[in-house]
Structure 1
Amino acid sequence: MKITVSKETKSFEKRVALSPSAVKSLVKAGFVCIIESGAGDGSYFSDETYEEAGATIAFGTAQALREADVIVKVNAPTVEEVQFMKRGSVLISYLYAYTIPTVIDALNEKGIASFAMDAVPRISRAQKMDALSSQANLAGYKAVLLGANALGKIFPLMMTAAGTITPSRVLVFGAGVAGLQAIATAKRLGAVVEATDVRPETKEQVESLGGRFLQVEGAEGVKVEGGYAREVSAEYLQKQQELIKNRIKEADIAITTALVIGKKAPVLITEEMVRSMKPGSVIVDMAVESGGNCALSVFGKTIIAHGITIIGEPNLPSLLPVNASELYAKNISTLLLHLATSAGFKWEIEEEITKGSLITYQGELVNAFTKEILAKTNS
């Protein structure tokens, strides 16, 4: 089978779906790899490096996609890119299918089967395929560095002849993979760290990293599924805001990571809270691509509001493109090798990983969760 990697077209994207080392492994497994010229430039992988790994270089997106049996990407394709794809081919990428109904329709019209990296089940045997975790880990690390760079003070306690510098205080919203890495990174840099999450079971993880867990009394307003918050009640959000209102006044940096799958990110930091923060403090809104956890965040920009720096940098993993691409390439190639051999796909439709990540198949939308979200959106 021929696997193609085309250039990513989404703004702020420097990652590539396959690294040269992943190409080398797939070629060894019997696959033919075709890389569009320049696809790896943002991750510092040259065409020559891919050729040395055994890939063929294609010039132009149309040429690359028309030859492919399997297309692997970081981000979902555009409708135009789908038109270049061969009928009956297979796409593997991040999709967030419920956000791109026109692309899903285009895939179905051409009979293209698609697998979503964002829909891979969070089970132990799929850990090496879990791109959400590998990328969120890097994002949490980078968020702390961005916050530290924008802050006008250092993180650690420092005792000098001229006096003692007290440690910075970091408040992290959300203790998922990104939040836990943010906690760990801030703690390593010497900050005093507090964290809050809608899932009370994360308390132990936060404390194991040296953070203090701020717990909302009564979590009955939260629906958790597969480790993610599916729904958070307005009453619970109100309780959470009351809890953190006083804590955010003391924070030098606030990092927000809260997402609700299939919905706009919840607003956790109101304008009133921003006003209450110490002048020179920093907010890093990691949910800015989904609407933002801070009411004042601006997608793709760093602004100063009421004396507070608010960083709305999207796609934080892309700021670490070498590591992000290497990890993503391992995730996507592991999934591919689970789904197929060089002779073709197994199509074990009821197998758990296949069933969870398969979005379109034989001209139909088959993913139950995507159907549910789209039905609610259209109702």
Structure 2
Amino acid sequence: MKVVVMGAGVIGVTTAYYLSKQGAEVVVIDRQTGPGLETSYANAGQLSYGMTSPWAAPGIPMKAVKWMLMKRRPLFIWPLISPTMWKWCVQMVRNCNEESYRINKGRMVRVSSYSRDVMPDLIAETGIEYDGRQQGTLQLFRTAKQMKASKADQDILTEYGSPYEVLGRDACIAVEPALAEVRNKFVGGLRLTADRTGDCRMFTIALTEKCSEMGVEFHYGQSIKSIAVEGGKVVGVDTEIAGRITGDAYVCAMGSYAVNVLTPIGIKLPVYPVKGYSVTLPVTDDAFAPQSTIMDETHKVAITRLGDRIRVAGQAEIAGYSDRLGPHATDTVKHVIKDLFPKGGDISKAEGWTGLRPMTPDGTPVLGPTQYDNLFLNTGHGTLGWTMACGSGRVVADIVLGKTPEISMDGLTAARYAR
């Protein structure tokens, strides 16, 4: 079977790997000049198995108003004249209730837990390096109110069997010794011990090389114009340069841009781009640098150690498909690294980046079959594409090849949006 995968980010490449491993002939198409050059390029670096939760949660609408009024705000909504954007926002608000939150979180945890379980096998099979660490995530609380509010998260972590530790100030410093320099700026933390870290783009490039060795073909610089449909099935992918590329089956792993080619053929997904920012800077002194990931609860910014670099990422900007990186766009993430690890890295050498996260209003990715027998989806992972990549890639590959996936697909497919 020949399978055409649209998209060479971490989602598309992991899908290609699992397809090829099971004997499929695979062709990957991407508009960029290489793999992992969009959302996978400089994300937070977190494999957030313990922090797998939908953004749509009880109380979020009121918190969102507060966040947008902060000086260093984690959320900003541009007042665009966009019915699609406002419809998506309304759908998200409708999911901000206890019942929807638990349903959506259960679906998301199912995918992320599976990804956590299968990723070690992929690493063992391929031997790829990606600056990976297995030292957990420390959610850092600056106030006693935040510490108290985390009890709700602890209950959910217990319910889903995600290991964690509640730490006081000294225990946080024992885990992240550099925090001793700023011990007066926080009161405690919640440590998610099963979480891991790693450079998503480094992983994607290394896995692409393995895929190429396995016979997978990668065609870059190929912007997809449309998906061609005849007689109720997909007959090809039309590109601007190479023309029509054909196969027996097709997987759309185009992130936020999936809707641009799916809507014209009648597949309407509420996937919307939510812009995020990051900076990457070199470590100057290991003793004063983070050792794993610290999530600043106040600013919703993650600080992650990636080898001899520090990645600082966060913010949520709802601004359509804008990929502009303004001169002050990364001020918030820079403030957090200077505030918590002032001696750890060289901020003067920070490399700024922005990317579009493909978000669904319920937080759950869209995986598997469509109304066309030979077209499959692997998109809508939001901020958790890196976390869910291996699990969703393997699940979709199994479905494409007619095998029963190892996890339930209930609530994960496009069928949940059919009404």
Bigger Rg, structure 1 or 2: 1
TM over 0.5: no
More strand by share: 2
- The TM-score bracket by the shorter chain reads 0.3 to 0.5
Higher relative contact order (CA 8 A, sep 6+): 2
TM, length-normalised to structure 1: 0.32
